[in-house]
Structures are given as structure tokens and as C-alpha cells.
Structure 1
């Protein structure tokens, strides 16, 4: 099968788990343990795709340091190509420090490092690697200062002309959803085939307090809009009609990477041309498996993890 291109933030996560509460300033709390992970929106998506039998192609940047070497070694171990990842001297590998509460909720502090330098020039240097891709996912643009949604718009138009199906998940905006950012994001969404956001993101983007109103607004820009609703399920507006499915009630251990895994489940189901409700349900199942796991050593496998749940 043709690979899937991913243009976005690829980084290391240092996940500190099992906290009762976040530490206050000038205080110290104890955690149950920590884990290093291949991560970032692009990293979590790539591993979810690989588990489903689809080859990912990542375009991103890391630093030439021990953390970057670890990420490349892990990709090699998982047989995920790293040709599209630019390694930069004198830059730190992008790293997120993730504090996970006992109820599965999280707080994140991120260091952009080499992501400060990923821009149009690097994209153009590596875009030939997307030539055989069937879809291109553009993600995490708010964390790539030189590859803004304006730059992503140019890439989306270019890739769409080449016959690619364009997916988009901007993730959370750490800069406060400024009006210019929202305006440019909506312009980009006009050239996207499938737009995927969570409930909080879509409400901030549209300045609505109800996802049901927000999804209809985005429907004026994109014919397929998906909203991730966590334990409440998921919704999709396709050609003007809203479809919903319920969520799965599972023990919540860690929600990190769940939305990215959902996205790739939906993409996989789209390739299968399944009905909308089945696509949403499949993506929900993948996300529910992820949030109930303590680590990210394994991802939902179509045959092993999902067959009895389909």
C-alpha cells in the first residue's frame, strides 16, 4: 500500500507518571516513574500507522544530540524511515516534558529546539519523499514557527495538485488562538480534505462554546470535519450531515497521543471507504486502547488488538 506523508512536529517526550497533583512553585512532589518516548504529533501518528500496516514518511527536524540519536535509533528499530527528518547541529532535539495525573489528565512543557528552524526550505528539500504517498497529514503547525499555517497552505495546495488527499490537525495553539492565526487556519482548511480537531480546539478556532455549532461553521470550509470528544465519543460532518458515535468507557491511564492515534485510525478507515459511523467507531477504539495503556511500546494492531472489538 502507498505510504502516508506526515509534515509536523516530531520530538522526544519525557513522561512523568502517576502524580497526585502538579507541583507548586518552590515545591517538590513524587512520581511513580518516567518514560522516554518517540513522540510529537508526527511521532505518535507514525507509530499508529506502522501498527496498522501503513508506512509513514515523516518530514520534520531534530537536533544533533543524544536525544536526537535516540529518536533515530528507535525509528530504525521500528522500521520507520527517517530520510525526511533533518538533523541540525547546535540545536536541541525538540522535547516535551509531560506530567500525567493519576486520572490520566496531563500538563505539558515543551522546548521547541530544532523545530524553530523547520520551514519551507526544509520542506522543499524533502518534499520528493512524499511523491508516492496517498495522503499527506499536516500537523502541529502552531509548534513550527517557520512552517506556519500560511506555509502549510502553500504545501497543501501543492500536494493536492499532485493528487494527494490532505489531512489537517493543528493541535493546540500555545500562543492563545490569536485572530490572525485563526483567520489563516480557516483559509488553510479550505484546501483540506479532512480536518480533525478535538472539542476544545474547534471551539477556540471558531469562537463558539458548543462543538455542534463549531462543526457546522467549519463545514463551510471543509466537506469532512471530525471532532474528537474524548469519553463522549466522536462526531463528523460529511457533506453537510453530522454523524456521531459514543465513546468507550475504559480505565484512563494516560491520554498522551490518543488524539493522534485516533486521527490515523480515521485515515486508515477512510482508505477502506467505510461508512462514517464505522470510521468514527474504529478511530475511537484505537484511542481507547491507547489511553488505557501505561506505555507507548505497542499500538493497536488491526489483527491482534482490534479484531475481537470490531
Structure 2
């Protein structure tokens, strides 16, 4: 089975769990524990794909440090290819510090580190690793300062011309969804086969308050637009029609990585040629399983769905 290429942010997450409240300045609170994880949009996607039996190939960057070695060792142990991950001497491995409330909601502080140096040149250096891939996922580009929307557009155009199916999940824009960024992102989406956004992202991208109005706008640029609605479910706008499914009710432990896992569940189901409703339902189900787990020692597998 052909692998799935992922071009985007790959980092370490240090997840601090079970907090009653966030600490205020100059105070201290106690947590139930913490966990180091392979993470970033690309990392969570890769782990989800691996658990579903698909082979991911990541193109990204880490620092040549202890944390970078930890991430690569974790992938090596799973048999996930690491040749596309560039180690940068003198740079810190990108790290996010995730504070998780006892209800599963989270707050994140990130250090970009080696992602500050990731750009189109590193993609060009490693793009031969995508030769046998059926799909290419471009993700988290807003978190890669030198890998601009214009660079992501170049990747999308090139890979689409090579016959790849392009998936796109930009994640949240920490710079405030500027007018130029929104304009360039919509231009990029013209070359995307499947655009994956959550409710808040699609509303900010289009400057609309109602996600249903927003999806109609994005649908003018992309043939298949997926909207992740959290506990309310999910939707896909395709061929001028909106397909929706309900969400699953679970006891939420940690929502980190849920959207990325959903994305890869949708990709897997698309490979299978399932109906749009079944794709959404499958993606919802594996994301729901993930957020109800106490740890990330494993990701949802087909036997659990």
C-alpha cells in the first residue's frame, strides 16, 4: 500500500494534565502528571496513520538535541520513516507545552525552534521521498515562519501535477488571520483536493460568523471541504451538497491531536471509497476514542471502530 506524505510541523509536546485551573502569574498549581509525546500536526497525523495500517512519510525539521533524538527514536521504534526530518545543529527541537484542564480543554505555549528554519529549500531537498505516495498532506504551515502560504502553494501545485491527491489542514493562524493571509490561503485551496478545517478556523478564514456560510465560500475554491465540529459532529461540502453526521458522546480526557487524528481517519476512509457520511463517521469515531484515552501509548486501531 502506497505511503502518505506529510509536509508540516513536527514537534515535541509536553502535556501537563488534570489541572483544576491555569496558574496565575507569580503563583503555582499542582498537576496530576505530564507526558512527553511525538506531536505537532505532522506527528499526530503520522501516529494515527500508522495505527490504521498506512505508512506515513514526514518532511519537517527538529533540532540536533536530546528532544530531537527522542522524537526520531520514537518513530524508529514504530518503523516510521525518519529520512525526511532534517536535524538542525544549534536549533532547539520545536516544543509545545500543553496545559490540559480536567474537562479536557487545553492551553498551549509553543517554542518554534528548528521550525524557524524550515522552508521550501528543505522540502526540495527531501521531496523525492514523496515519489511513491498517493496523497500529500500539507499541514500546520502557519506555524512554520519560513514555509509561507506561497511556499505551500508551490508544493501543492507541484505535487498535484505529479498526480497526488492533496489534503490541506493549515491549523490555527497565531498571527491573527490577516487579510493577505486569508487571500493567499484561499488561492492555495484552489489546488487542494480535500480541505480540512475546524469550525473556528473556517469562520476566521472567510471572516464569517456562521460555518455554513463559510463552507459555501471555501467550496468555491475546493471541491471537497470538511468541517470538524467537535462534539456536534462533522460535515463535508462536496458537489454543491452538504453532508453532516452527529458526534459521539465520550468522557473527554484530552483533546490534543483530535483534529489531526480525524483528518487521517477521513483520508483512510476516502482511500476505501466509502460514502461521505461513512467517512465523516469513521473520522469522528477514531477522534472520539483518542480524546477519551488517559495516555497516548497507542492510537485508535481498526478493531476498535
Q: TM-score, normalised by structure 2?
A: 0.99
* Partner of residue 43, structure 2: 43
Distance (whole Å) between structure 2 residues aligned to residue 157 and residue 246 of structure 1: 34
Query: Residue 185 of structure 1: CA displacement?
Result: 0.4
Query: Residue 296 of structure 1: CA displacement?
Result: 1.2
* Partner of residue 110, structure 1: 110
1:70 aligns with 2:70: yes
**Where in structure 2 are there 5+ consecutive unaligned residues?**
none
Distance (whole Å) between structure 2 residues aligned to residue 286 and residue 216 of structure 1: 27
The alignment partner of 1:15 has SS state of strand
Q: Deviations over 1:274-303 (max 9, x none)?
A: 11000000000010000101211111111x
* Partner of residue 130, structure 2: 130
Query: Residue 68 of structure 1: CA displacement?
Result: 0.3
* Partner of residue 98, structure 2: 98
Distance (whole Å) between structure 1 residues aligned to residue 222 and residue 38 of structure 2: 31
**Aligned-CA RMSD value:** 0.5
Distance (whole Å) between structure 2 residues aligned to residue 149 and residue 294 of structure 1: 35
Distance (whole Å) between structure 1 residues aligned to residue 50 and residue 60 of structure 2: 18
The alignment partner of 2:217 has SS state of helix
Q: Deviations over 1:67-116 (max 9, x none)?
A: 00000110011110000000000000000000000000000000000000
The alignment partner of 1:216 has SS state of helix
Q: Tell me how many residue pairs correspond in the alignment.
A: 305
- Map residues 1-310 of structure 1 onto 2, 5 A cutoff: 1-302=1-302, 304-306=303-305
Q: TM-score, normalised by structure 1?
A: 0.98
Distance (whole Å) between structure 1 residues aligned to residue 183 and residue 156 of structure 2: 16
The alignment partner of 1:121 has SS state of helix
The alignment partner of 2:304 has SS state of coil
The alignment partner of 2:35 has SS state of strand
Query: Residue 54 of structure 1: CA displacement?
Result: 0.4
Q: Deviations over 1:121-167 (max 9, x none)?
A: 10000000000000000000001111111100001000000000000
**Where in structure 1 are there 5+ consecutive unaligned residues?**
none
Query: Residue 32 of structure 1: CA displacement?
Result: 0.3
Q: Deviations over 1:207-243 (max 9, x none)?
A: 0011111011100000100000000000000111000
Distance (whole Å) between structure 2 residues aligned to residue 72 and residue 241 of structure 1: 42
